[in-house]
Amino acid sequence: MKIISKLVITVLFTITSVACAQKKEPYNTDDFKITSVQVTHNADLDITVWEISVKGSAGATTPTPAGQLDGAPVLGYVFPTSLSPTDVGFIDTNGIVALALTSHPDFDDTPLWDENSDTIYNNDGIIWHPHWVVLHQDERVAGGLAVKQFDTNDSSVKLPPTNPGMPMYMDSPGYNVKTVGNTIKVIVPDYRINNKIEFNYDGVAAYMIVNTSQNNKPMLGVYHVYSVASGDLSLPYSVKKNKS
């Protein structure tokens, strides 16, 4: 929690300044204005259901394609958590473990999953889908956070076998994502989070950009923060219990 607290203090100022400066940002709409966030554990099925509700229509807005990977836009409904990286299959590394529900039409990073059921596995990046990521502070981008990268020559790095093959702490777990009205939901089996059913979390709606050409920018950074459920990224919410 010390790492999370340090990041919160730093990122708070970034969230405030970005929110003030993004009034003309095209995705800064009610579809990304979070009204509530909730994670509920179902003991009968050994699953948690993660939900973000917004003022508008959840998942209705997807990014306008850039036409290439470099500069590709990514929209996300993100759950920062107090889970450990080892709980979701990474090595023990500093940062915030987050479950990000994303859409990005320019590329597909879920090679094992066919989200649009057309028997083609590399054409459905625009379909809302989940990623586990490790976020860390990165002042090179306006949003103050980026997905943590690693040296490809570092043999100590461990990723889950469902990772998309990019040099970042990212996984493509394939959980089912559903949008209904103003809510986007994802189901996570207990065993996929090391059977941890007591943790803290928050909700964030954000705009990210892929970078493959500039060494002074992260590969996947947060450039706009549209809303934060708690208002301050303090991870104040705990898992609710539901037997059915």
How many domains in the chain? 1
Cβ proximity of 172 and 32 under 8 Å:
no
- What average pLDDT score do residues 69-97 get? 97
CA–centroid distance for 20 within its chain? 22
- What average pLDDT score do residues 166-182 get? 97
Query: Given this model, what pLDDT does residue 169 score?
Result: 98
Residue 114: how many other CB atoms lie within 10 Å: 17
Task: Give residue-wise pLDDT tens across range 196-215.
Answer: 999 999 999 999 999 999 99
First vs last Cα of the chain: how many Å apart?
Answer: 31
Distance CA 89, CA 170 (A): 10
pLDDT surpasses 70 at 15: no
- What average pLDDT score do residues 86-114 get? 96
Query: Given this model, what pLDDT does residue 21 score?
Result: 45
Cβ proximity of 75 and 104 under 8 Å:
yes
Q: DSSP for 175-191, please give it.
A: --EEEETTEEEEEEEGG
What pTM was computed for the model?
Answer: 0.91
Query: Given this model, what pLDDT does residue 20 score?
Result: 42
The continuous run of DSSP H or E covering 121 comes out as none
Mean pLDDT of the chain: 91
By percentage, how much of the chain surpasses pLDDT 90?
86
Domain that holds residue 167: 2-242
- Is the four-CA dihedral 172, 178, 181, 183 of positive or negative sign? negative
